[in-house]
Amino acid sequence: MIAKPADAKHEVAIVGLGYVGIPLALGFVNAGCRVLGFDADGGRVLELQNGHAPLAHLPPDAIAKALQTKRLEFSADKSRLSECEAVIICVPTPLRKHQDPDLSHILDAGEEIAPHLRRGMLVSLESSTYPGTTREELRAVLEKGSGLKAGTDFALVFSPEREDPGNTQSVIGDMPKVIGGLTPACLERGQDLYGRVIKHLVPVKDCDTAEAVKLTENIFRFINIALVNELKRIYSSMDIDIWEVIDAAKTKPFGFMPFYPGPGVGGHCIPIDPYYLTWKAKEFNYDTRFIELAGQINRSMPYYVVNHLLEAMNAAGRSLRGARVLVLGLAYKPGISDDRESPSYHIMDLLAKKGAEVEYYDEHVPKIPPGHGHWAGRSSMLWSERNLSDCAAAIVCTAHRGVHYEQLADLVPLVIDACNVVPKNRKAHVVAA
């Protein structure tokens, strides 16, 4: 095993304190480890130092309680990374404008860590990315900036995150964790670190394999969601309810796994990660045809939903131009505030282009954050009888719990339901889409 630095103050540093990094830091603290949280965003570090949990789905006192243990510290000073036995990188991996991978956050994190890398430290990358990133890209930045050699002077592993935001039943320690090392000695160090928190580690041959595991999981989901989205369109024209079909099909105890249709796919993972493989596959002269096809279907869903609205309004002799339309749910999935890549924004754009007066309602996203063009700064509509009655139609895009769907269906005359949550026995004309 690559010997650890003897004098480390913290077992682990987490670089990137977002949806993945914060729960991971808490997981290590709860397992008794001393943790240093580092983020390039000084405002976020300050917020965490003051005990605030910036993720709406975490208990509000989660950070404050962890700080009380004295095993957790947050800092915006990257030189403090040298105080740690291991550094885990959890930074974003978005796509560029033309759907090629944007590794800039990983490379920046590598450059931040490299000058403070000491002999015996372990670096683990958790960000989802294409096979070869850890071995080729991150390793080069770390070696260049530190003068040390990966695999002998320091350990390097890739261990993908399986965070399920908003799922209160999902406990970090109980989630099996895949890990691959640059060398067997690197893997050993990685297992030693994660073994303190995770009950079931799944070692694989190398970093490339571990990277491929993560992409495979998300591609599987991306393609299966596209499949049910396509089946929804076909069955709907046959007057068959896709939700009833899935509920019945999932009683089969083998060979079937339920996926559910929706208004498209969102979040920082499912609509993005598959294209990391698409890009890398080109280097090997391969096209990722399944991914392309699934992407076409998933991207077409907002048009499908808005088309249902147009048809229903047309049938009622009404025009979308000038009509007030309420979009319910901006988060990409129920119970969380993460609205990244949410298809709701695409639907809102389509509605606005057609002249509709767009409102939205989402208790988890009370105000639209920056990064959503002209929608940024808009506030969630106040839920009231009067405001609902002013709407000509509503589109349900996220199946958040706690929404009074009965009242919605009593007060808004037309509801397009992409999530199968609105009762059909109330006053509204409810259209499944």
Ligand X SMILES: NC(=O)c1ccc[n+]([C@@H]2O[C@H](COP(=O)([O-])OP(=O)(O)OC[C@H]3O[C@@H](n4cnc5c(N)ncnc54)[C@H](O)[C@@H]3O)[C@@H](O)[C@H]2O)c1
CB of 401 to ligand X, least distance (A): 19
Stretch that binds ligand X, among 15-23, 145-153, 352-360, 408-416 (CB under 6 A): 15-23
CB of 92 to ligand X, least distance (A): 4
Tokens of 305: 């939903």
The answer for residues whose C-beta is within 8 angstroms of residue 316's C-beta and 6 or more apart is: 413, 414, 429
Candidate list 5, 31, 40, 243; residue touching ligand X; CB under 6 A: 40
**Of 422, 421, 420, which Cα lies nearest the Cα of 412?**
422
Cα separation, 332 vs 335, whole angstroms: 9
Task: Could you list the beta-strand ranges (E) of 101-244.
Answer: 122-125, 155-158, 177-181, 201-204
AA identity, residue 20:
V
- Using the minimum distance from each CB to ligand X, give the nearer residue, 269 or 430: 269
Candidate list 75, 127, 133, 342; residue touching ligand X; CB under 6 A: 127
Tell me: does residue 18 bind ligand X (CB under 6 A): yes
Cα separation, 218 vs 295, whole angstroms: 13
- Using the minimum distance from each CB to ligand X, give the nearer residue, 130 or 304: 130
CB of 390 to ligand X, least distance (A): 35
Tell me: does residue 39 bind ligand X (CB under 6 A): yes
269 is catalytic: yes
Tell me: does residue 137 bind ligand X (CB under 6 A): no
What number of CA atoms fall less than 13 Å from residue 274's CA on the CB side?
26
Q: Return the residues of window 246-285 that contact ligand X according to CB under 6 A.
A: 268-269
Tokens of 256: 């079937």
The single-letter DSSP state of residue 45 is H
- Characterize the bridge pairing of strands 177-181 and 155-158: antiparallel
CB of 128 to ligand X, least distance (A): 4
Candidate list 47, 100, 102, 108; residue touching ligand X; CB under 6 A: 108
Stretch that binds ligand X, among 17-25, 150-158, 293-301, 311-319 (CB under 6 A): 17-25
Annotated catalytic residue: which of 186, 269, 391, 397? 269
CA 244 to chain centre: 28
Q: Return the residues of window 145-174 that contact ligand X according to CB under 6 A.
A: 161, 163, 165
Candidate list 4, 11, 12, 19; residue touching ligand X; CB under 6 A: 19
Tell me: does residue 16 bind ligand X (CB under 6 A): yes
Candidate list 12, 29, 81, 90; residue touching ligand X; CB under 6 A: 90
Angle between helices 273-283 and 289-315 (to 10 degrees): 140
Please state, in angstroms and as integers, the Cα–Cα distance from residue 395 to each residue in 120, 184, 323, 360, following that order: 55, 52, 13, 9
Cα separation, 271 vs 212, whole angstroms: 16
Name the site residues for ligand X (rule: CB under 6 A): 15-21, 39-41, 44, 90-93, 105, 108-109, 112, 127-128, 161, 163, 165, 268-269
Among all residues, which ones are annotated catalytic?
A: 269
